[in-house]
Structure 1
């Protein structure tokens, strides 16, 4: 039995199981942690720090605003569209305390992507950064969103600094396009209205949905993974047990350069670190590498959460290499494959090994991780406690240890299903709770797993999932396109880069610039192709399905990688 295989695979001191029902809901974890670590710093950004006690107070005020000044009811969805700023955890935890379901929304989304997500989720409220409010202005009339709260980057900073930061962003950097949302309430005005108002703490059940986290799943258009309170609590506890063995309560400083709206950073920084009273340093724009390194220089950080692309960029920075890493004792990698050369370079520069893990949005997200005590570079580690893994063949039969097959995962962190998509849920989640990942893996005799290949055609750009179906659907709307396909090709900087192939309709013409502009207008940055190739025809099956794998194999041959 696969259950028995894992029992003795955990290092000494790490239990094989956690109690996923230890807390009734996320609110209970938040309350306990914020009381226990009330005076400890929780989040810092732009020179301002809020303690766990202040986080609880501010989130309660925001929740009171939502309950007393809107008609939102428990179970309603609220979209939260912000980068890493202090307002993010305040809004998320406030929404949860008011009983709402959080819909994490990428602030870089185009209007088309926002419209789909808001309508699919049935969002009735939106909290967004002023920088993208102009897009909300265009989108909201086509959605059911009735309540809008707009915040500026520096809203939770002290008054003078707030004025300075917000003015620089708006008038000097010109990063806030003009918008007209007469119904919008300013974030700080919402806090002012909520202050002193009564709050009725919500008490959801463990199986109630806490977060709708959008993903393409295994294929196709973005779907909302229903992550319940129990799912997320289980993953918090699993992370604490396996990744927190080297971390001490109330004194760790963790760098948070990855966006909190992404499930990896969301669970790690907002959820798991709450259990140990970790101090999260929010990096608002990690693409500004000099600014990121400058921020790192201000802290004796003990933990770093990143992915391969970021590790490479930082190690190539002379200023980063000059930083003091004497306190760094934990580095975590996920989101995309960690390259051996990157892991070695990071250890050489920082003196710290990298614990690589694996997960999906559908697993809240952490499913496996390398324990501190025994890092095995090139693997994704062992399953986190209370989690089982197996591999199956194309017919769904279980394969023996050491065989290569599709990785399946079972555990309390596995999603409830896809929001309002029963068929899509049934395709990946069976009656016994096993989730098909679409990734090809091998389970070693020592219990460590290695990802061999991806069964699905998903492309991973800097840790973000990109789905060819979506890109092809967008590209097909460009006049003149007869056929098209999107694939991922190896890229040193981002892991994979997107290449699109286009067949132009007879008698019509298209240029690369036209294709690139169309994609620029309709999809967010990481989904945009880096190259375009025009062809007379694309390889297809006998029923006309385009063979992306054949295109990918051709590109790999050109690169000498196949």
Structure 2
């Protein structure tokens, strides 16, 4: 048996050779076999080479889940460049900060989508940002874009570079070359770029796919956003290494999700518990054909035992799993197994997947160790040293318990991060945004329970003397600076916040008031 490919270009070559005319991507009227996906990737790669992209250059992508994203990320890897996914909910300031920090050489960006023109926003809010090549992915409507390349122009522009040159570039990519930089916020409120090389991303994706029983016959509806490690690595990369067919969904809409499941004979559905809860409660489910569903993987929030039971009994999944990972661990770490009980699946995050070790620090913090975790944070050796100790253990910041079987359950957070709709929210970042509002003296942000989102933000505000701020003022300000999942849902004004003797806000006290 030959060695498994350790770069995504070689993995794509292997998939095209092994699966050929089998479906790779289905996105509306666009249907690509594995051979056609390889052709699409090579065409886009030739354009990137023609535009002067070199190995190691960073390329941003700010777009929803479509076939273009899949081609763009694999083409970026094909030329030896590094993909930098941007959260589609970012406002322009957040996107510009990431793009400037990575010194992006190129950017894939969606045209007008859901009422937003991100390129116009970026150019208006960050005129100082210069990116050599901007490629516009089709949005909700066609529109001419100045100083950018339309997706439809790629075939013509590709003619400037030979196929042989593109293949030579792909074959020059090394397993330890960085494949992606995903940004995750830190306790200081400023995001940090996580560096992962090709070989680590592919090894983890194979281990995840093995636990999830993903295989070449599967048709995988990817609802988690591709900009997130789960949608990208447990979605695109896991499909790449197994030959599963990818069906991207640009925005989560329950009737459309159920229509796609029936129309495309979907077998695999993943995402936060809210996705499954919403489907179960939707009135149209009674008449929807969901009979092809086979595998569900969820996590990133508390999962009730009854939800696991209903997913098995009412949605008729054969395999229902929960999992745990962090961006710093490549998105992976622990996972349940198909034979586990509903109680185990609901009440734990499973045990270590292949290649990972877990243990608890003296203070109960969960530690992960693997050859698959990040190389470190972008240009931040101190934060890297603070997170990965001398013995190679990644300090997750989560407090956990591990039972005698090796199954892990997260019980608390050392830091104040909370999870809203599957997305991490870091209160320090929100508090920094609040501090920029005139009339605010102090703020504290915590996560509070929410039936649909898992948790949502609540901000406690101390006004400056004489200020007449309202809750509407606070929320309107937050919406101009933060992605919507970071915007607090509730505002409470206080005369003062509770502080410890060390001068830190007692957020535990605020949380206990709501318990």
CA gap of 1:555–1:60, structure 2 versus 1, over 3 A, is same
Distance 1:330 1:483 in 2: 46
Of the three residues 88, 104, 114, the one matched with 2:85 is: 104
8 Å Cα contact 2:202-2:241 kept in structure 1: no
Residue 120 of structure 1 deviates from its aligned partner by 1.8
Alignment of 1:249-398 (within 5 A): 249=216, 251-286=217-252, 288-352=253-317, 353-375=319-341, 376-377=344-345, 378-394=347-363
User: What do the CA deviations read for 1:134-192 (whole angstroms, capped 9, x no partner)?
Assistant: 21222453324221111213xxxxxxxxxxxxxxx33xxxxx8x8x8532111121233
For CA contacts below 8 A with separation 6 or more, give which structure has more relative contact order.
1
Structure-1-length-normalised TM-score: 0.85
Residue 196 of structure 1 deviates from its aligned partner by 6.9
Of the three residues 99, 121, 141, the one matched with 2:127 is: 141
Residue 296 of structure 1 deviates from its aligned partner by 2.2
8 Å Cα contact 1:334-1:359 kept in structure 2: no
Of the three residues 121, 128, 150, the one matched with 1:186 is: 150
Equivalent residue of 1:358, what SS?
A: strand
User: What do the CA deviations read for 1:344-382 (whole angstroms, capped 9, x no partner)?
Assistant: 222232122520011011111111111113342211111
Equivalent residue of 1:141, what SS?
A: coil
8 Å Cα contact 1:333-1:357 kept in structure 2: yes
Equivalent residue of 1:213, what SS?
A: strand
Residue 543 of structure 1 deviates from its aligned partner by 4.1
Alignment of 1:113-152 (within 5 A): 113-131=94-112, 132-152=118-138
Structure 1 residues not aligned, in runs of 5+: 1-18, 154-168, 171-175, 395-404, 557-562
Distance 2:78 2:385 in 1: 31
Distance 2:381 2:218 in 1: 42
Provide the alpha-carbon RMSD of the alignment. Answer: 1.9
Equivalent residue of 1:297, what SS?
A: helix
Partner residue in 2 for 1:214: 183
Equivalent residue of 1:350, what SS?
A: coil
Partner residue in 2 for 1:166: none
Equivalent residue of 1:509, what SS?
A: coil
Residue 106 of structure 1 deviates from its aligned partner by 1.3
Distance 1:75 1:536 in 2: 52
Of the three residues 161, 167, 186, the one matched with 1:197 is: 161
Partner residue in 2 for 1:79: 60
8 Å Cα contact 1:211-1:226 kept in structure 2: yes
Distance 2:330 2:122 in 1: 28
Of the three residues 233, 258, 264, the one matched with 2:202 is: 233
CA gap of 1:504–1:217, structure 2 versus 1, over 3 A, is closer
CA gap of 1:194–1:272, structure 2 versus 1, over 3 A, is same
**Count of matched residue positions in the alignment of Structure 1 and Structure 2:** 500
